[in-house]
């Protein structure tokens, strides 16, 4: 059976369930809802955008969509980088952005319960005001927590604290047929059957719609210090990282960056970076209960860097100085984007001791293909962001080079025992690479799970493992 194209009656029903001013059709649909941050992966117009206000509304929408075979694409802030929240088979874009209340702080159990549309930047502020920290630190602070959970977002502090999944204790989820379930709980341990909560995390809106999230918090570290470490070359810089990891000193973050990307960030922000006399930099952060404790750790790491060839070690211990460095780090993607006509990106993760080899490989591809490639990323957890820049290449040449370089990049990551995506997810743009890298049996298992949760294939069809109703191919409408 085909997916249904929405009729006037369907729209009236959604206007009754929600309120008319939260249902958008035709020209009322903002162009933003047709794509995510990677416009390059296509624009797709939904039949309607519906902004839900609570779990009951989401449940009623899903029940109706299930009965009428209407595709539903959940959406947070649309900051994703793999086309995850775009409605490639039309239907409804279900925006969770209006469900943005912080519901409860439980300071005895150190948890916070929120709706999925809470923005990361708002959560950070509220949590910090109570002397606590939500450790995951994805770069894009305007993303929603629902989006973070559904992509299992990583971020700068993953080296020490892990990723979003490590902080999700419980979820309220609306299933494809409208049924509401609670997964997980506020206990610190749980060995009670399969962890459906962990299956839901990172499922990119293909298994359910998250409407409530309980997150684990930790006490806020009293001291935070960053080191900016210049090196003569990117290779020297990356080669220093295994020594830091071997020393067991556990920085909160280890990022690497090249001079060209820093220059692009300066131009983008209109602000000067503290130093750009060297070709490459490591940016490290340390946190702890006291300044003395942090100093002890970072002095060891500073020595390791100097022995590995660092030109100097700059200590950044005031909020202002940290902001000038981390502020630049936070806009690398936008800065690269604004420096060129179009980009393609890859977000592979490799074992940490293979980062240097991978970066060398990327540099060789840049020379071989004569295309500008910018790389930065989380050297401490092996997650690299590689951006191919179109500049003034003719469209056909760009497409050919891109597809060939991407295949090389993913093949190399797999050869090094890496994974297709470290933190951005699969969406619809990375499906072929996932299929190739994990093989048939894991893909079949994932397809089985999808069919169990979503037998009518209405939830975010065509994403992650790519399944959708075969009979509706004509609905594909890229603009």
Ligand X SMILES: Cc1cc2nc3c(=O)[nH]c(=O)nc-3n(C[C@H](O)[C@H](O)[C@H](O)COP(=O)(O)OP(=O)(O)OC[C@H]3O[C@@H](n4cnc5c(N)ncnc54)[C@H](O)[C@@H]3O)c2cc1C
Residues that bind ligand X (CB under 6 A): 36-37, 73-81, 84-85, 96, 116, 138-140, 143-144, 146-148, 150-151, 153-155, 204-205, 209-210, 333-334, 423-424, 460
To ligand X, the closest distance from the beta carbon of 208 in angstroms equals: 7
To ligand X, the closest distance from the beta carbon of 427 in angstroms equals: 6
Q: Which is nearer to ligand X, 230 or 418 (CB)?
A: 418
Reduced to 3 states, what is the DSSP secondary structure of residue 365? helix
Pick the closest to residue 252 from 212, 216, 213, 297 (CA basis): 297
Number of C-beta neighbours around residue 299 at 10 A: 14
Q: Which is nearer to ligand X, 265 or 310 (CB)?
A: 265
Q: What sign results for the dihedral spanned by CA atoms 48, 52, 57, 62?
A: positive
Q: Which is nearer to ligand X, 154 or 288 (CB)?
A: 154
Maximal C-alpha separation, the chain: 71
* The two structure tokens encoding residue 267: 């131009």
Q: Which is nearer to ligand X, 90 or 155 (CB)?
A: 155
470 CB burial (10 A radius; 0-12, 13-18, 19+):
exposed
* The two structure tokens encoding residue 170: 């419980």
Q: How many CA atoms lie within 13 A of 253 on its CB side?
A: 27
Local structure of residue 26 (DSSP, 8 states): G
- C-alpha 474/C-alpha 10 separation (Å) is 21
To ligand X, the closest distance from the beta carbon of 409 in angstroms equals: 18
Q: Alpha helix (H) ranges present in 289-394?
A: 291-307, 319-330, 332-338, 355-369
To ligand X, the closest distance from the beta carbon of 207 in angstroms equals: 8
Note whether 329 and 255 are within 8 A (CB). Answer: yes
Q: Which is nearer to ligand X, 146 or 230 (CB)?
A: 146
To ligand X, the closest distance from the beta carbon of 178 in angstroms equals: 14
Q: Which is nearer to ligand X, 81 or 238 (CB)?
A: 81
Q: How many CA atoms lie within 13 A of 439 on its CB side?
A: 3
Q: Which is nearer to ligand X, 257 or 302 (CB)?
A: 257
To ligand X, the closest distance from the beta carbon of 209 in angstroms equals: 4
- Tokens 């065509």, residue located: 462
Q: Which is nearer to ligand X, 419 or 460 (CB)?
A: 460
Pick the closest to residue 316 from 375, 253, 260 (CA basis): 253
Q: How far apart are the first and last CA of the chain?
A: 25
Q: Which is nearer to ligand X, 117 or 288 (CB)?
A: 117
- Sort strands 383-389 and 343-346 into parallel, antiparallel or unpaired: antiparallel
Core vs surface per residue 231-240: b (16+ CB within 10 A) or e: beebbbbbbb
Q: Which is nearer to ligand X, 92 or 228 (CB)?
A: 92
- C-alpha 21/C-alpha 19 separation (Å) is 6
Note whether 175 and 63 are within 8 A (CB). Answer: no
To ligand X, the closest distance from the beta carbon of 31 in angstroms equals: 15
DSSP character string of 29-72: S-GGGG--S-GGG--B--SEEEE--SHHHHHHHHHHHHHHT--E
To ligand X, the closest distance from the beta carbon of 299 in angstroms equals: 28
To ligand X, the closest distance from the beta carbon of 446 in angstroms equals: 15
To ligand X, the closest distance from the beta carbon of 387 in angstroms equals: 11
- Tokens 């206007």, residue located: 15
- C-alpha 362/C-alpha 168 separation (Å) is 34
Q: Which is nearer to ligand X, 148 or 375 (CB)?
A: 148
- C-alpha 277/C-alpha 312 separation (Å) is 11
Q: Which is nearer to ligand X, 154 or 230 (CB)?
A: 154
Reduced to 3 states, what is the DSSP secondary structure of residue 450? helix
To ligand X, the closest distance from the beta carbon of 123 in angstroms equals: 12
Pick the closest to residue 253 from 281, 290, 232, 282 (CA basis): 282
To ligand X, the closest distance from the beta carbon of 253 in angstroms equals: 11
């Amino acid at each position: 059976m085909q997916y249904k194209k929405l009729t006037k009656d369907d729209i009236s029903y959604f206007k009754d369930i929600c309120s008319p001013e939260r249902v958008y059709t035709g020209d009322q649909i903002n162009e933003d809802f047709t794509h995510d941050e990677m416009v390059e992966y296509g624009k797709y117009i939904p039949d309607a955008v519906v902004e839900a206000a609570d779990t009951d509304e989401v449940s009623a929408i899903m029940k109706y969509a299930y009965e009428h075979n209407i595709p539903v694409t959940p959406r947070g802030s649309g900051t994703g980088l793999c086309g995850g929240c775009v409605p490639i088979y039309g239907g409804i874009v279900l925006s969770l952005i209006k469900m943005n209340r912080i519901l409860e702080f439980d300071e005895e159990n150190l948890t916070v319960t929120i709706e999925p549309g809470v923005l990361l930047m708002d959560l950070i502020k509220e949590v910090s005001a109570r002397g606590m920290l939500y450790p995951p630190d994805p770069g894009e602070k305007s993303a929603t927590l629902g989006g973070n959970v559904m992509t299992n977002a990583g971020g700068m502090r993953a080296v020490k604290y892990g990723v979003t999944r490590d902080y999700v204790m419980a979820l309220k989820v609306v299933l494809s047929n409208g049924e509401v379930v609670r997964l997980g709980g506020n206990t610190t341990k749980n060995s009670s059957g399969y962890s459906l909560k962990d299956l839901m995390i990172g499922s990119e809106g293909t298994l359910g719609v998250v409407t409530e999230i309980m997150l684990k918090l930790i006490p806020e570290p009293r001291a935070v210090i960053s080191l900016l470490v210049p090196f003569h070359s990117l290779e020297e810089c990356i080669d220093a990282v295994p020594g830091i990891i071997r020393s067991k000193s556990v920085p909160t973050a280890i990022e690497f960056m090249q001079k060209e990307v820093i220059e692009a960030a300066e131009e983008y922000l209109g602000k000067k970076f503290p130093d750009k006399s060297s070709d490459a930099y490591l940016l490290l952060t340390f946190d702890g209960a006291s300044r003395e404790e942090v100093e002890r750790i970072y002095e060891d790491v500073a020595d390791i860097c100097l022995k590995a060839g660092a030109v100097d070690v700059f200590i950044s211990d005031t909020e202002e100085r940290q902001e000038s460095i981390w502020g630049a780090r936070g806009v690398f993607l936008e800065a690269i984007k604004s420096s060129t006509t179009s980009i393609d990106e890859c977000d592979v993760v490799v074992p940490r001791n293979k980062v240097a080899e991978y970066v060398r490989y990327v540099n060789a591809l840049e020379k071989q293909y004569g295309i500008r490639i910018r790389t930065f990323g989380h050297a401490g957890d092996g997650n690299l962001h590689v951006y191919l820049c179109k500049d003034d290449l003719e469209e056909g040449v760009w497409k050919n080079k891109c597809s060939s370089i991407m295949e090389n990049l993913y093949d190399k990551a797999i050869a090094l025992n890496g994974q297709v995506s470290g933190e951005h997810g699969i969406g619809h743009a990375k499906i072929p690479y996932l299929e190739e890298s994990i093989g048939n049996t894991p893909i079949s298992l994932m397809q089985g799970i999808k069919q169990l949760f979503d037998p009518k294939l209405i939830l975010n069809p065509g994403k992650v493992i790519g399944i959708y109703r075969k009979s509706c191919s004509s609905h594909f409408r890229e603009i």
